[in-house]
Amino acid sequence: MGRISRRSFIERTGALAAATTLPTLKLRGAAQQVDDQPADPAPTTRITLRVNGETHELEVEDRWTLAEVLRDHLGLTGTKVGCDRGECGACTVRLDGTTVYSCSQLAVWADGRAVSTVEGLADGDQLNALQQRFVAHDGPQCGFCTAGQLMSASALLDDTPNPTRDQVREGLVGNICRCSNYNRYVEAVLDGASADAPSARALTTVGALTPRIDAPERVTGRARYTGDVRLPGMLYARVLRSPHPHARVRRVDTRPAERLPGVRAVISRNTCDVVWTSGDSRNDRFLFNDPVRFVGDPVAAVAAVDRHTAEEALEAIVVDYEPLNFVLDPEEALRPGAVEIQPGGNLSPRGRGVREPEVYERGDLDAGFAASDVVLEDAFTSKHINNAQLEPRVSVARWDGDRLTVWTPTQGISNCQRDLARDLDLPPADVRVVCEYMGGGFGNKNQCQDSDLIAAVLARETGSAVKLEYTRKEDFLGVHGRWPTRQYYRVGATRDGTLQAIELRGYSGLGPHRKSSGGIAGIELFRCPNVRRVVHPTYTNMTVSANFRGPAYPQGVWGIESMMDQMAHELEIDPVAFHLKNVSRAYLDETPYTSWALPECIARGAEIFGWASRWRRAGAGDVAVRRGVGMATGAFSARTGRSSAVLRLDGDGHLWVHVGVTDIGTGAKTTMALLAAEAMEMRLDDVSVVWGDTDRCPYSVGESGSRTTVQTGDAVLAAAADLRQQLVVQGPPRGDAVLVAEATTNPRIEGMARYASAAHFVELEVDVAVGHVRVVRYVAVHESGRILNPLTSASQVKGGVTIGIGMALHEELRYDRATGIPVNPGYYGARVMTHLDTPEIEVHFVEPEDAYGPYGAKAIGEPPIIPVVAAIGNAIFNATGRRLHELPFSRDRILEALA
C-alpha cells in the first residue's frame, strides 16, 4: 500500500512531469473504476424559481437547500453560508418579500415563489440607496455577513421606512457580524448624522475619512470569496474527525467508503504522512495523527463528486479507537501522573528543546515585597474562545502538471505559499496562493491551515480540482481559538501608590500542539522595579489554541489590570490617578518608546468620559440595578519589518499598486491605495490595488500582528519615492510604456520600542435580580500614531471593543469534563455578540508624532480588544463590590458572586 509522504509526494510529482497520465495511488483501485454518479440517485423535483425577477426552471434534489441552489446551481454566490444551521444570518434572502434563512429552506419549498438576493439590489453598476449608505458608513469590514445585513435591512425599511435605532437592532438581530461592525451597520440603516461618516465625496489623502475602495464589491455580492470559486470537474472533500479527546487509532478501514459510487479518493494516516509544519512549531503534526489528541483531530478525508456523497462516505469509514486518558486543564496536565500528550511531557519546550517555563525578571522580587505596605494576591482563569469569523475555512486546490494553485482565505499569501511548499516538498515558485476576498479571521487564518494541505493532497490523488469546506463546527474545533489561562498574581505597593513588586505565575493551555506562544502579556504596561513572570505553555487535550486578535493580551491584561484596580481600591486611590502614576514610561522600564501617549490617552479618556464626576469608590449598594464605572489600558507592538511593494504607472496615468495583502476586513487595500495616492500626489480614483495572488504580488508580511499598514505601507512609500525619482528623470510614461518601481524595506529601530496604546472607560449596569450586565457607555481612546483613515480605523476600534465585550460577558467554548467533548461549538452555543448586545462605542484618537512607519502610523487592528475585559471586570467591581475571577462574567457567576 502506497504512503503519501513528503518524499513520495515529490517523487510522484516528478514522475508526473514525465508521464502525462496521472498515476493515482494504488489503494484507490476500487473506487476509481466505478461510475461517478451515485448509484441510487436521490429523489428530485422540477421547480420554478423567480430569482431577482428572472425565472429559472430547475431539477433539484429534494434535500437541497435554497442556499445550495442559489450558490452552486445558479451561481449567485453573493449569498453566503456562515453556519449552515440558521444561526448566523449570512444566508438571509427574501422569499416573496419576507426574510428567510436560505440555508434552512428547502429549494423545493420555494417552488413558484420569488426570491430576492443581494445581486438584485443594484441596477447594473448603480448601487441602490441602501448600498450607498453601507459604503459611506463603512458597513462591511470583511463583508461576509453584508449580504444578509442588506437583505434584513431592506425588508425592515420596506415595512418601517423611518426606524428607530432599537428597531434597526431588532430588525437585524438575526445577522451576526463577527467583525462586530454593528455600530456601522445601524448607522447605515438609520443614515442619521453619525459623528464620522462622510456625507459627501471624501478627500483622498491620508487623514481623511475614506470609504473602502472595494466596498462596492462587498455590498453587491460581486466580491469573490474562496467558497465562491467553482472549477470545472471540481470535487468536494470532507474530513472525518476524532470523537475522542485522546485515543490511539488502532485501525482505519477506508474501503467501505472507497466502494461508494461517486467517491474518488480517501486518505488517512494509512496513506498520508504529510507533516503540517505551521500546525506545530515543536512536534511533528501530521495531517492525520496517531494518537488523536483532541475532539476534532482529523482521521481521514474523502473527495467525492458532491458534498452529499462525500458526507455519506465519511459515515462509511470504520475507525477502531483505543481511548486514552485525557487532561483539559493546563495545571492538571503538569501534575505528576498526568497523561503524556506529546513525547517528553506536557510542558511545551522552549526553543532548542529546553523543558522549562518562560521566565522574565528584573530587580529583586523579595526586596520589592519587603518594601511594600500592601501586598495583594489573587488568581484569574480565562477560557478558550473561538475566533468565529463569519467565513469558515475553505480551500480549493488544483494541480496544473507540477504546479499547485490553492485558493484559500489566508491572512498571508506569502507565508501560506512558503508553508505549502515546505510541507509538500515543492519549490515555492511551483505554489500559487490566491485569496481575492476573505470573510474575517482575527488570527484564525494565519498562514497555511491543514485544509489547504488536505485539499492539495486530494487534488493530487484524484487529478481533479478539490474544494474542502469546513463546517461551522469544524471551524470551531479544527482550527484554533484563544488560549485559556490561569494566572496567579502577587503585587506589592507602598502606601503612596508606588508599585514595588509584581509576580505572575501563569499557565496557558495550548491544546495538544504548539501553534503559537501561549504567552500572558500585560505586566509590561506598568513601571515597577521588581518583576518576575513565569509562564507555562502547556499541552492539553482541548482543541488547539493559537492566535486570536491580540493573542496574549486581553486575558493577561484582565489579570494585571484587575490587580491594579484592586490595589488602587485598597489604597483608596482613584484608579485614573493610580494609572497615571504607574503606567509604563519606557518599555520594561528600560527601552525608550519611539513615541508614547498612554498617559495622554488616560487623561483624555477620563475627561471625555467625565470620570471625575462618575467614579466613586466601589461598594455594594442595595438598589436592584447597580451602576459602576471602570477603566483599563492596553498596548500592542507596532514594530517595523520586511515587506515589499511594486508600483506600476501606466501611460494613461493610472497607478497600479501590487502588494501581497489579502484584506481580512481591516481595509488594508484601501490603506495601501491611500498611501500610494498621498506619496504620488494622485487622486485615489487613479490608483488601483493588485492584491491577493502570489503570482501577481511581491512578498508581503502576513496580516497578523497588526503589521500590514506599517510594514507593507513602508514598502509602498519607498517604491513611490523611487517612482517619483524616475518621473523626474524620465518624465511620465506614454502609450504602452510603464514605469515600474519595486521596493523591499526592512527598517530597523535601534534601541527603541514602538508601541500603540489605548485607554478604555466603561459605565455599566448590573441587574442584581438576574445577574445581567448592560453596558451603558463605552469610551475608547487610542494612540496608533497617525491615523491614515479615521473611518476604517474607528471601525476597527468599534469591532475590537465589541468582540471584547462578548469575551467578558458570555463567550466560552465549554467542555464536558467527564468526556472531554466540547459542548457548544457554534454561534448560538458560544454566544458571540449580536446587534442587540452591542452598545455604541465612542472612539477617540490621540495622534503623537512618530518618526517610523508610513507617515508615523502604528498598529490599529489588535489594540482595541486588549483593555476591554479588564475595563468591564473593573466596572462590575465598582458597581457591586465583587470581583469575578473566572471568565466569562455570565449571569450565574455574577449572581453567585453577589450571593
Partner 1 sequence: MYAPEFAYYRAGSLAEAGQLLQQHPGAKLLAGGHSLIPLLKLRLTTPPALIDIGRLDELKGISVTDGRVRIGALTTHAELAASSELAARCPALAEAAGLIGDPAVRNRGTIGGNVAHADPASDLPTVLRALDATIAVTVDGSERSIPAADFFEGMMETALGDHDIVTAIEVPAASAGQGQAYIKFSHPASRYAVVGAAASVTLTGGTISTAAVALGGLVPVATRADSVEQALTGQTPSVDTIAAAAAAVSADLGDDLIGDIYASAEYRRAMAPVCVKRALTAAVERAG
Stretch that binds partner 1, among 117-125, 173-181, 427-435, 599-607 (CB under 8 A): 173-181
Least distance between partner 1 and beta carbon 91 (Å) = 9
466 vs 635, which CB is nearer to partner 1?
Answer: 466
* Residue closer to partner 1, measured from CB, 45 or 726: 45
Look at residue 715 and give its three-state secondary structure.
Answer: helix
Site string for partner 1, 281-310 (x = CB under 8 A): --------------------------xx--
Name the residue nearer to partner 1 (CB basis): 101 or 399.
Answer: 101
State which of positions 5-24 bind partner 1 (CB under 8 A). none
Which CB atom, from 243 or from 345, has the smaller least distance to partner 1?
243
Helix/strand/coil for 583 = strand
> Is residue 751 near partner 1 by the rule CB under 8 A?
no
Which C-beta is closer to partner 1: that of 176 or that of 448?
A: 176
Distance of closest approach, residue 39 Cβ to partner 1, in angstroms = 12
- Number of neighbouring beta carbons within 10 Å of residue 774: 14
Residues 764-783 interacting with partner 1 (rule: CB under 8 A): 769-771
Pairing outcome for strands 772-783 and 235-241: unpaired
Q: Which residue blocks in 126-262 are alpha helix, DSSP H?
A: 129-136, 146-159, 165-171, 182-190, 215-220, 255-258
814 binds partner 1 (CB under 8 A): yes
Residues 442-501 contacting partner 1, CB under 8 A: 471
Q: Does 109 bind partner 1 (CB under 8 A)?
A: yes
Listed residue (529, 636, 500, 536) closest to 588, CA to CA? 529
Residue with Cβ nearer partner 1 (711 or 834): 834
Pick 175 or 662: Cβ nearer partner 1 = 175
Please give the Cα distance from 112 to 110 (Å, whole number).
Answer: 6
Q: For residue 14, which phi and psi values (nearest 5 degrees)? A: -65, -45
Minimum CB separation from partner 1 for residue 474, in Å? 10
Size of the site for partner 1 (CB under 8 A): 53
Window contacting partner 1 (CB under 8 A); options: 41-49, 71-79, 451-459, 553-561: 41-49
Q: Is 57 in the site for partner 1 (CB under 8 A)?
A: no
Q: Does 106 bind partner 1 (CB under 8 A)?
A: yes
CA distances from 412 to 419, 539, 624, 714, 853 (A): 10, 26, 50, 17, 20
Cβ 827 to partner 1, closest distance in Å?
Answer: 6
Which is closer to partner 1, CB of 37 or CB of 109? 109
- Closest approach, Cβ 164 to partner 1, in A, equals 16
If the CB atoms of residues 6 and 882 are measured against partner 1, the closer one turns out to be 882
- Out of 89, 512, 554, 861, point to the residue binding partner 1 (CB under 8 A): 89
Of the candidate residues 43, 232, 336, 337, the single one contacting partner 1 (CB under 8 A): 43
| Comparison of 171 and 512: residue with beta carbon closer to partner 1 | 171
Do 635 and 598 touch, CB atoms closer than 8 A? yes
The answer to whether the CB of 631 falls within 8 A of the CB of 611 is yes
User: Quick one: which segment of 61-69, 577-585, 636-644, 723-731 binds partner 1 (CB under 8 A)?
Assistant: 61-69
- Determine, following the binding rule CB under 8 A, whether residue 430 of this chain makes contact with partner 1: no
- Tell me: does residue 42 bind partner 1 (CB under 8 A): yes
**E strand spans, 326-465:** 358-362, 374-382, 385-386, 394-400, 403-407, 431-434
84 binds partner 1 (CB under 8 A): yes
Quick one: 45 or 744, whose CB is closer to partner 1? 45
Edge-to-edge strand order for the sheet containing 485-493? 358-362, 530-539, 499-511, 485-493, 374-382
C-beta of residue 236 within 8 angstroms of C-beta of residue 306: yes
41: Cβ–Cβ under 8 A, 6 or more apart, which residues?
Answer: none
Applying CB under 8 A, among 78, 139, 163, 171 the residue interacting with partner 1 is 171
Q: Which of 25, 81, 87, 239 binds partner 1 (CB under 8 A)?
A: 87
Per-residue mark of binding to partner 1, 817-856 (x: CB under 8 A): ------xx--xxx-xx-x-xx-------------------
Alpha-carbon distance of 169 to 186, in angstroms, equals 7
Contact set for partner 1, span 125-154 (CB under 8 A):
152
Verify binding: residue 173, partner 1, rule CB under 8 A.
yes
Q: Which of 12, 51, 65, 659 forms a contact with partner 1 (CB under 8 A)?
A: 65
Q: Which is nearer to partner 1, 99 or 712 (CB)?
A: 99
Q: Cα-atom radius of gyration of the chain, to the nearest Å?
A: 27
Q: Contact, 115 vs 66, CB < 8 A?
A: yes
Q: Which residues of 126-159 are buried (b: 16+ CB within 10 A; e: fewer)?
A: ebbebbbbbbbbbbbbbbbbbbbbbbbbbbbbee
Closest CA to 198 of 794, 600, 892, 898: 794
Q: Closest distance between partner 1 and the C-beta of residue 42, in Å?
A: 5
740 vs 738: CA distance, rounded Å: 6
Cell of 174: 438575526
Query: Is position 811 an interface residue for partner 1 (rule: CB under 8 A)?
Result: no
Residue 810 lies near partner 1 (rule: CB under 8 A): yes
Give the nearer residue to partner 1 in terms of CB position, either 65 or 242: 65
Residue 895 touching partner 1 (CB under 8 A):
yes
Asked if 877 and 883 count as a contact pair (C-beta separation under 8 A), the reply is yes
Residue 100 makes contact with partner 1 by CB under 8 A = yes
We find the least distance from the C-beta atom of residue 160 to partner 1, in angstroms, to be: 11
Interaction with partner 1 in 380-419: which residues (CB under 8 A)? Answer: none
The nearer residue to partner 1, 470 or 761, going by C-beta atoms, is 470
Q: Using the rule CB under 8 A, is 46 a contact of partner 1?
A: no
For the packed helices 575-582 and 598-609, what is the interaxial angle rounded to 10 degrees?
170
What count of Cα atoms within 13 Å lies in the side-chain half-sphere of residue 691?
A: 30
Nearest to 297 by CA among 310, 307, 287: 287
Residue closer to partner 1 (CB basis): 116 or 372: 116
Minimum distance, C-beta of residue 328 to partner 1, in the bound complex (Å):
15
CA 140 from chain centre, in angstroms, equals 15
Encode burial over 293-309: b for 16+ CB neighbours within 10 A, e otherwise: bbbbbbbbbbbbbbbbb
> Cell numbers 489561562 label which residue?
485
In the complex, minimum distance from the CB of residue 880 to partner 1, in angstroms, rounded to a whole number: 17
Residue that is written with C-alpha cell 498621498 in the block: 678
Cell of 350: 522552549
Q: Which of 155, 598, 715, 808 binds partner 1 (CB under 8 A)?
A: 155
Helix-, strand-, coil-residue percentages of the chain, each rounded to 5: 30, 25, 45
- Residue 167 within binding range of partner 1, rule CB under 8 A: no
CB of 201 to partner 1, least distance (A): 34
In this structure, what DSSP letter does residue 398 have? Answer: E
> Closer CB to partner 1, residue 112 or residue 343?
112
Query: Could you tell me which of 176, 172, 175, 177 has the C-alpha nearest to residue 159?
Result: 172
Cβ closest to partner 1, residue 533 vs residue 835: 835
CB of 141 to partner 1, least distance (A): 20
Q: Is the dihedral of CA 652, 654, 656, 662 positive or negative?
A: negative
The footprint of partner 1 (CB under 8 A) covers 42-43, 45, 62-63, 65, 84-87, 89, 92, 95, 98-101, 104-106, 108-109, 111, 152, 155-156, 170-171, 173-174, 176, 307-308, 311, 471, 769-771, 810, 814, 823-824, 827-829, 831-832, 834, 836-837, 891-892, 895
